[in-house]
């Protein structure tokens, strides 16, 4: 099966069905029928053809939430080109850094075209150098809408199931150079297996605010509903973060049944929605709110449930999944209709012996929530450092194999080869298996996950070195978990020569400003320290965790001093 064939079949069944409802902060909801979606996409497919873009070439989409993004994406698919959605420039990010990120994406991905808005055209053109792969900058306002859908004219129908259908990048300098390339077949294999795990029905309604440049948003909150013929209600992440109650109102209005959220969103919704915004809200239609893309926390489910139980939310609706772009999306899914298993485990045994066992009487314990069972097309192993299988309840690296793995990191054969061992994809996540369920407990990689977004600490450290007063190699970045927010906060520590507190404060501010402007990541703690504070080892990885421990210890001491003061 290929994407265009599926769309054609759905169109044949019911062209006037509402496929997507787009929501906006200060405009009415916009229902888009499948016929409307395909006509809009056809016009983009024709624009790609006119510009000489060939099937199999990459088209980068620099667009925000809205109709253009919808049509530009599916238009690329109908033309047989490979769409890749790049986050749009936000007010937080510096335009210079954005240009650099775009240039680095272009260098690896070698796109043939870039699609953007007229007001952003010059910005995009300024990045295109002589000899660039980019032959066309396609501007959205110059695309006349197609009068009707004409499947026969579309080249995308010539694609084969094993051809690459899309690229998915994570953010930052490191992430943009690692485009996950997925085939039509891999996506369908994922959707088939995942739909069965969800018992997906025609009358399901997906409500999502997740960004489409992230796997959870792109697959669960975009491709799956559209390719399954299920109504999708979509709002922008930028609107949701300022008005989280809109999620509840949309679920109420459209009788939403399925929503995916990163863990922090449970805390965010529980803490930041006013009663007045919940008048008339009825969440009883929600059959699953699936926690995914950050470590899942029982405490976050509890807070969410307590806040919304009076509005029809059912406890059994709170579900979990473990997913990654390299497997298209879902690896595991908890069983809908029953609550995910929670283990109370001994904290010390977990930390020291790396085993999840029941706590002895009175010993400190912690809650581990299951991410569910492997999808029917996924095999999972838990491996030790040498690659040997570990017994149940022993913590090791999660490795997986499935029929929906990535084709490769696009144009990065080196990275693709490194990611696999004997045909098994090494996830870089730690976890254990108990009675067939997967419990994800941490990460082998130093990656920080902030609000569901992957952040590479080396990117943040490199930015810190650019700040005057900080020397290369004398900064460390890591994440620390914030219980209240249900996600990680970013900490940057930098050594400076000056011991003058005012000068140190000035440099700390400069770091905060520079790193945020260049990564769009807000920093919670910026600590400027005297020389020799940072613990150095030959391996950067060890240094990050050692420095994190040192930071946390000092933070604890400071806080206990403040309490006694």
Residues that bind other proteins (CB under 8 A): 25-26, 91-92, 238-239, 241-244, 268, 272, 274, 451, 485, 505, 512-513, 515-517, 522-525
Place of tokens 């990460």: 443
- Cα–Cα dist 359/347, whole Å: 8
Nearest approach, Cβ of 418 to other proteins (angstroms)?
A: 33
Nearer to other proteins, 157 or 238 (CB): 238
Q: How far apart are CA 265 and CA 248, in angstroms?
A: 12
Distance of closest approach, residue 506 Cβ to other proteins, in angstroms: 11
CA quadruple 408, 174, 209, 292: dihedral sign: positive
Parallel/antiparallel/unpaired status of strands 27-33 and 113-116: unpaired
DSSP 355: B
Q: Do the Cβ atoms of 437 and 341 come closer than 8 Å?
A: yes
Rounded-to-integer distance, Cα 19 and Cα 542, Å? 49
Distances (CA, A) of 211 to 270, 453, 485: 21, 10, 20
Radius of gyration of the chain (CA): 24
Structure-block tokens of residue 34: 């499948």
Task: Give the Cα separation of 168 and 162 in Å (integer).
Answer: 17
Q: Contact 76/82 with Cβ under 8 angstroms?
A: yes
Minimal distance, residue 317 CB to other proteins, in Å: 24
DSSP string for residues in 385-399? TTSPBPPTTB-EEEE
C-beta of 314 vs 517, nearer to other proteins: 517
Nearer to other proteins, 91 or 361 (CB): 91
Residue 556: CB minimum distance to other proteins, A: 14
Smaller CB distance to other proteins: residue 58 or 273?
A: 273
On whether the CB atoms of residues 402 and 396 are closer than 8 A, the answer is no
Least separation in angstroms between residue 25's CB and other proteins is 5
Of 111 and 211, CB closest to other proteins: 211
* Complex with other proteins: residue 23 or 516, whichever CB lies closer: 516
**Coil, strand or helix: which one is 7?**
helix
Closest approach of other proteins to the CB of residue 321, in Å: 23
Tokens of 246: 């809109």
Q: Closer to other proteins at the Cβ: 84 or 464?
A: 464
> By C-beta, is 197 or 523 nearer to other proteins?
523
Cα 30 to Cα 67: distance, rounded to the nearest angstrom: 9
Min separation Cβ 331 and other proteins, Å: 27
CB of 215 to other proteins, least distance (A): 21
Is residue 116 within 8 A of residue 140, CB to CB? The reply is yes
Cβ 310 to other proteins shortest distance, Å: 20
Q: Which is nearer to other proteins, 171 or 441 (CB)?
A: 171
CA distance 338 to 64: 37
**Nearest distance in Å: CB 522, other proteins:** 3
The whole-angstrom distance between residue 223's C-alpha and the CA centroid of its chain comes to 14
Decide: 109 and 60 in contact? Cβ < 8 Å: yes
């Amino acid at each position: 099966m290929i994407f265009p064939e599926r769309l054609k079949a759905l169109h044949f069944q019911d062209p006037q069905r509402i496929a997507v409802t787009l929501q906006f902060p200060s405009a009415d909801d916009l229902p888009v029928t499948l016929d409307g979606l395909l006509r809009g996409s056809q016009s983009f497919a024709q624009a790609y053809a006119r510009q000489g873009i060939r099937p199999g070439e990459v088209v980068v989409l620099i667009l925000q939430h809205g109709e253009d993004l919808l049509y530009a994406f599916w238009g690329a698919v109908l033309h047989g080109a490979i769409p890749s959605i790049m986050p749009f420039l936000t007010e937080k990010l510096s335009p210079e850094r954005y240009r650099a990120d775009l240039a680095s994406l272009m260098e690896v991905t070698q796109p043939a075209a870039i699609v953007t808005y007229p007001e952003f055209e010059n910005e995009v053109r300024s990045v295109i150098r002589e000899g660039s792969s980019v032959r066309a900058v396609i501007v959205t306002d110059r695309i006349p809408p197609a009068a009707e859908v004409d499947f026969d004219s579309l080249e995308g129908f010539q694609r084969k199931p094993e051809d690459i259908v899309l690229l998915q990048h994570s953010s930052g300098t490191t992430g943009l150079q690692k485009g996950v390339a997925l085939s039509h077949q891999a996506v369908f294999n994922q959707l088939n297996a995942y739909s069965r795990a969800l018992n997906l029905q025609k009358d399901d309604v997906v409500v999502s605010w997740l960004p489409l440049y992230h796997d959870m948003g792109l697959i669960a909150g975009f491709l799956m509903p559209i390719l399954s013929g299920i109504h999708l209600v979509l709002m922008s992440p930028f609107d949701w973060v300022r008005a989280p109650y809109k999620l509840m109102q949309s679920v109420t209005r459209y009788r939403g049944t399925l929503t995916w959220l990163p863990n922090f969103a449970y805390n965010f919704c529980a803490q930041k929605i006013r009663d007045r915004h919940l008048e008339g809200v009825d969440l009883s239609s929600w059959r699953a709110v699936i926690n995914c893309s950050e470590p899942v926390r029982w405490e976050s489910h509890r807070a969410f449930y307590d806040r919304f139980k009076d509005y029809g939310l059912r406890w059994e609706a709170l579900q979990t999944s473990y997913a990654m772009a390299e497997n298209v999306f879902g690896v595991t899914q908890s069983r809908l209709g029953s609550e995910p298993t929670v283990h109370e485990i001994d904290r010390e045994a977990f930390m020291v012996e790396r085993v999840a066992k029941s706590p002895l009487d009175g010993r400190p314990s912690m809650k581990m929530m299951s991410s569910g069972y492997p999808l029917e097309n996924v095999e999972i192993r838990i491996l030790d450092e040498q690659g040997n299988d570990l017994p149940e309840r022993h913590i090791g690296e999660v490795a997986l194999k499935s029929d929906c793995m990535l084709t490769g990191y696009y144009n990065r054969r080196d990275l693709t080869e490194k990611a696999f061992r004997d045909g098994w994809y090494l996830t870089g996540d730690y976890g254990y298996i108990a009675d067939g369920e997967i419990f994800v407990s941490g990460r082998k990689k130093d990656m920080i996950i902030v609000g569901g977004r992957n952040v590479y600490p080396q990117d943040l450290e490199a930015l810190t070195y650019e700040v005057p007063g900080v020397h290369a190699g004398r900064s460390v970045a890591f994440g620390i978990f914030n219980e209240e927010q249900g996600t990680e906060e970013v900490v940057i520590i930098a050594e400076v020569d000056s011991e003058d507190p005012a000068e140190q404060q000035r440099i700390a501010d400069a770091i905060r400003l520079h790193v945020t402007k260049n990564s769009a990541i807000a920093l919670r703690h910026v600590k400027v320290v005297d020389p020799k504070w940072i613990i150095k080892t030959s391996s950067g990885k060890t240094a990050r965790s050692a420095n994190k421990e040192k930071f946390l210890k000092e933070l604890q001491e400071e806080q206990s001093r403040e309490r006694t003061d």
